[in-house]
A = this chain, B = another copy of it.
Amino acid sequence: MADVAERAGVSASTVSRTLRGLSSVSPDVRARVEKAARELNFAISRQASSLVTGRTGVVAVLVPTLNSWFMGSALSSLGPLLRAADMELTVYVIPDLAERASFFEQLPARRNADALLVHCFDLTEEEGARLDDLGMPVLYVSQHAEGRPSVYVDDVAGARHGTRHLLNLGHRRIAFMQSPGASGFSFSSHARLLGYQQALAEAGVPLDDSLVVAAPAADKRAVAEALGQLLGLRRPPTAVFAEQDELAAALIWTLRRARIEVPEQMSVLGFDDQPLAEWFDLTTVAQSPSEMGRVAGELALQLINDSEADGKRHIVLPTHVIPRGTTARPTGSATETEGPS
C-alpha cells in the first residue's frame, strides 16, 4: 500500500480512503490512486483490514455434505449473493460424527467469520449453546431453532398439501415412504410425516402405521422390499407419497419392473421438485432451496450490518404442489368410497 501511495504521490490514508470508495477524496487524486493501484496490481489485504475493523468479511456455512441437490442449490444461490455484498463464503463440510466432534471442539469459525449459517443439522443442546457464544450471528437454515433466527421450508404444510392432492383425487389408502438416515435431514423428514398425518386426520381417514414404510433412495433392494410390504397388505395403498423425489424415482422404477402401471395402478407423489422430477413426469411438492439460500444470505447480511435487527426471526418458505403425470384417480374410485362395510 505504501508503494501505491508513493507512486500516486499521496499518503497511505488517502489510498485507503480511495480504495474503500469513501467520498472524501478529490476526483483527480482518486484517479491517480486508482491508476497506481492498477499498475502495481495491488489489492487490499482482508487480513490486515479486518484486524482493525474487527470484521472479517466472511460468512461461514456448516453443511453435512455438498453432494445433494438440496445443499448444492442452496449454496449456489448463496455464493453470488455474498459476492455481491463483497463477502466471502467459507464452507465447513461435516460429513460424520468424528468431524462434527472436532468441529465443535475447535470451532474454527470463531473469530474468522461475521456470521455462521448452520444447514440441516439436528444439533444437540450443548452444540447449540456452543454456537450461541460464538460472538456472531448464527442462523439456522433448513431447520427450525427455537429462539434463534431460522430460515426453512414449510415441510409440514407441504406434505399436508401433497397428501390433500391425493385425497382430492379420491385416494383413501395412501402410503408414506420415508428415507431414513439421510444425515442431517431428519428434521424435514419428521415434519413431512407429520403433514401427511395431519391431512389424513383432517379428512377423517384413519392413520395406519402399516402404511408408513422406510427405504433409502439409493438402496433398490430396500425400496423393493418396502413396496412389497405395502402390496402385501390386506388393503394395499392406491398411492404412495415418497418424502423425496429421488425416493419417488426409485419407487417408480421398481413399480415399472413389477409391471405395475403408474399412475393407473399406483399413484406416486414426490417432494422437492428436483430436475429429476420433470423427466420422470413426477407429481411433486415443490420447494426452492435456492430461494432458501438467498433468503438466508440476506438475513445474514442484515444481522451482520445491523445489530438492531431482529435476531430471532423465523422465515418460513412456501411450497406448492406441481401436478404431473404420476398421480391420477384410483382405479374404480367412482364406486369405491370406503368400501361397503
Interface residues in chain A, defined as those with a beta carbon under 8 Å from any beta carbon in chain B: 41, 43-48, 50-51, 56, 58, 65-69, 71-73, 75-76, 78-80, 83, 86, 88-93, 95, 99, 102-103, 106-108, 110-112, 133, 217-218, 220, 223, 249-250, 253, 256, 275, 278-280
Partner of A88, one of B73, B112, B279: B112
- Do A90 and B88 have beta carbons less than 8 Å apart? yes
Given A83-B99, A83-B102: 15 more A-B contacts, CB < 8 Å = A43-B110, A45-B112, A46-B47, A47-B47, A51-B51, A66-B73, A67-B73, A68-B72, A79-B91, A80-B99, A83-B92, A83-B108, A89-B91, A89-B93, A256-B256
Chain B positions within 8 Å of A43 at CB level: 106-107, 110-111
Chain B positions within 8 Å of A278 at CB level: 218, 220
Top 9 nearest A-B pairs (CB, nearest first) are A79-B93, A67-B72, A43-B110, A67-B76, A90-B90, A66-B72, A66-B76, A66-B75, A47-B50
- Do B65 and A67 have beta carbons less than 8 Å apart? no
Report the bound CA distance from A280 to B253 in whole Å: 8
> How many identical chains are in the complex?
2
Chain B positions within 8 Å of A95 at CB level: 76, 80
Partner of A65, one of B65, B72, B88: B72
Partner of A279, one of B41, B67, B253: B253
Q: How far is the CB of A289 from chain B (nearest CB, A)?
A: 9
Q: Which residue of B lies closest to A251 (CB)?
A: B279
- Do B72 and A76 have beta carbons less than 8 Å apart? no
Chain B positions within 8 Å of A91 at CB level: 75, 79, 89-91
Q: Which residue of B lies closest to A41 (CB)?
A: B133
Q: Which residue of B lies closest to A218 (CB)?
A: B275
- Which of A67, A76, A218, A223 gathers most chain B CB within 10 Å? A67
Pull 15 A–B residue pairs with CB atoms less than 8 Å apart, ordered by A: A43-B110, A47-B47, A66-B71, A66-B72, A67-B72, A67-B76, A76-B95, A78-B93, A79-B91, A83-B93, A83-B108, A88-B90, A90-B90, A90-B91, A217-B279
Q: Which residue of B lies closest to A58 (CB)?
A: B90
Q: How far is the CB of A279 from chain B (nearest CB, A)?
A: 5
Partner of A46, one of B75, B78, B111, B256: B111
Q: How far is the CB of A221 from chain B (nearest CB, A)?
A: 10
Chain B positions within 8 Å of A46 at CB level: 47, 111-112
Report the bound CA distance from A113 to B43 in whole Å: 13
Report the bound CA distance from A275 to B246 in whole Å: 10
Chain B positions within 8 Å of A58 at CB level: 90
Q: Which residue of B lies closest to A69 (CB)?
A: B67
- Do A79 and B108 have beta carbons less than 8 Å apart? no
Chain B positions within 8 Å of A103 at CB level: 83
